[in-house]
Amino acid sequence: MSENFEFKLIATDGMARRGEITMPRGTVRTPAFMPVGTGGTVKAMYMDQVRDLGADIILGNTYHLMLRPSAERVAKLGGLHEFARWAGPILTDSGGFQVMSLAQLRKLTEKGVTFRSHIDGRAYEMSPERSIEIQGLLDSDIQMQLDECVALPSTPKDIERAMELSLRWAERCKVAFGNQPGKAMFGIVQGGDVADLRVRSAQALKAMDLKGYAIGGLAVGEPQDVMLEMLDITCPELPVEKPRYLMGVGTPDDILKSVARGIDMFDCVMPTRAGRHGLAFTRRGKVNLRNARHADDPRPLDEESPCPAARDYSRAYLHHLVKSGEALGGMLLTWNNLSYYQQLMQGIRDAIEAGRYSTFAEETQAAWGRGDIPLLA
C-alpha cells in the first residue's frame, strides 16, 4: 500500500508487462482483470468471494450508480467501498459510455451530455466536471475522464470529431480532478479504427501527463485483428511508466493478445454475464451448461480447479440449475468464471516474470483448442 498512487514495472517480456499499482486502499497486481460491479454489486457474488478469488480491484459503473441510488446518497453512506462492502481499490468509468448505450433522448454538446434515465426517464446532465464530481462522491480510487466513444464502423470524420472532443474533455477532467495524491484520473485514447487518430489522441493525452491511460472505443463491433492493430499502434505512443487499461475487454483470448501488446488492466462483463446465461469459462475453453450432454454427467466442470463451483458440483447439477432458471446456477457459474479469469491473470503474471509469456499464451490457447473433456462412454 501507499499514501500515493504509484505504478512500478516488476518485469517485462517483449511488450508484455508485469507491474504493480499501489494505492492507499491496496495493491493491484498487473496485468489485472477487474470484475464489473455495475450497481454496487458484482452480480450474484458476495464481495468476500470476489476478493478470495484474487481480484485486487473492481469496477463500478458511474451511470448506474448516479441513477440509483445516486452518487450523493452513496457519499452520505460513506462512499462506494463502505456501501458495497469492498475494501480494496475501485475504478469507476465516467458514465459516458452507458449514457450513449443505455440512456434515452441523449443530446451531446461541447458542454457535455443531457439525457433521460433508462430506468425512469428522469432528465440528467453530465459534463466532464460532473462526471469527476460523481466519481469523487463515490470515492473512486481510479477515475475516468468523460469521453465520447463511437461505435464501429463509423466514418473517419465522426471518429475524429469525437476524439477531439474527448481530448478537450480530458483537459477539463484533469482540472476538475485537481491534485489527489492517493487517487488517479486516467485519460482515454480514442480514434476508432483510424491509426493516425489513435496516435494523435495518445500523444495529446501523454502531453497532459496523466497518472494512467485507458484505451477506449475498442471491442465495440470491430474484428479482433482491428482491435489488436490499434493496440500495436497506440501502446508505443503511451509512456512506459504509466498503467494502460483496455476498457471493456474481453474474451480470455483478447486478454492474452492484448497483454502481449502492453496492456496492464482489463474489465469486462463477459464472465459475469455469461455465467448468468449458463456459459462456463474453463481451461478447456467455453462450456455451455445448457447443452443436454451434461444432463447425466456426474463430473465437475474442472476437478483441478481451486474454485468450489468448478470442482465440487456435477455438470448434471449445474445443467439442472441452469435449465430450471435457479439462482444458484448463476451464482455457481459466475463464481467459476470469475475464478477462471483470475487464474488466467495469475498465469499471465507468473509467465511474464518467468520470461516465458509467449509460451504460456500458446499453451493456454492450445488447451482451449483441444476443447472440453469427452463424453462419458
Mark the binding-site residues for substrate, compressed into ranges.
93-97, 147, 190, 217
Q: Which of 31, 34, 84, 79 is nearest to 56 (CA)?
A: 34
CB-side neighbour CA atoms (13 Å) of 345? 26
Which one of 321, 344, 348, 361 is in contact with a copy of itself (CB under 8 A)? 321
Which one of 9, 11, 27, 43 is in contact with a copy of itself (CB under 8 A)? 43
> At closest approach, how far in Å is the CB of 320 from a copy of itself?
5
Contacts of residue 180, defined as CB under 8 A and 6 or more positions apart, other chains included, come to none
Which one of 331, 338, 344, 345 is in contact with a copy of itself (CB under 8 A)? 331
SS3 content of the chain, % helix, strand, coil (to 5): 45, 20, 35
* Nearest to a copy of itself of 84, 256 (CB atom): 84
Would you give the binding string for a copy of itself spanning residues 62-81, x where CB under 8 A is met? ------xx---x--xxx---
User: Cα–chain-centroid distance for residue 339?
Assistant: 15
327 sits near a copy of itself (criterion: CB under 8 A)? yes
303 sits near a copy of itself (criterion: CB under 8 A)? no
> At closest approach, how far in Å is the CB of 294 from a copy of itself?
11
Helix (H) / strand (E) element for 11: namely strand 6-13
Binders in 210-269 for a copy of itself, by CB under 8 A: none
296 sits near a copy of itself (criterion: CB under 8 A)? yes
Residues 13, 56, 93, 139: which is the catalytic one? 93
41 sits near a copy of itself (criterion: CB under 8 A)? yes
328 sits near a copy of itself (criterion: CB under 8 A)? yes
Known active-site residue 267: yes
Kind of pairing, strands 265-267 and 244-246?
parallel
Q: Is the peptide bond before 31 cis (omega within 30 degrees of 0)?
A: yes
Would you give the binding string for a copy of itself spanning residues 97-136, x where CB under 8 A is met? ----------------------------------------
What residues pair up with 103 in beta bridges, in sequence order? none
Cβ atoms of 314 and 298 within 8 Å: the answer is: yes
Known active-site residue 141: no
> Rounded distance, CA 253 to CA 308, Å?
24
Which one of 213, 313, 340, 341 is in contact with a copy of itself (CB under 8 A)? 313
Cβ atoms of 17 and 31 within 8 Å: the answer is: yes
- Give the cell for residue 50: 470476489
320 sits near a copy of itself (criterion: CB under 8 A)? yes
- Residue 186 has φ and ψ, to the nearest 5°, of -100, 140
Q: Which of 350, 178, 23, 57 is nearest to 7 (CA)?
A: 23
What secondary structure, in 3-state letters, does 80-147 show? HHHHHCCCCCEEECCCHHHHHHHCEEEEECCCCEEEECCCCCCEEEECHHHHHHHHHHCCCCEEECCC
Which one of 16, 36, 45, 280 is in contact with a copy of itself (CB under 8 A)? 45
Q: Which of these segments, 36-44, 163-171, 173-181, 191-199, binds a copy of itself (CB under 8 A)?
A: 36-44
Contacts of residue 371, defined as CB under 8 A and 6 or more positions apart, other chains included, come to 284, 285
> At closest approach, how far in Å is the CB of 75 from a copy of itself?
11
For residue 170, give the 3-state DSSP assignment: helix
Residues 254, 267, 302, 372: which is the catalytic one? 267
How many residues contact a copy of itself, by CB under 8 A?
A: 34
* Nearest to a copy of itself of 39, 239 (CB atom): 39
* Nearest to a copy of itself of 323, 356 (CB atom): 323
- Give the cell for residue 252: 480470455
Q: Which residue has the cell 509467465?
A: 351
* Nearest to a copy of itself of 326, 350 (CB atom): 326
7 sits near a copy of itself (criterion: CB under 8 A)? no
* Nearest to a copy of itself of 273, 356 (CB atom): 273
Where along the sequence are the contacts to a copy of itself (CB under 8 A)? 39-41, 43-46, 68-69, 73, 76-78, 83-85, 295-296, 298, 312-314, 316-317, 319-321, 323-324, 326-328, 330-331
Catalytic residues: 93, 267
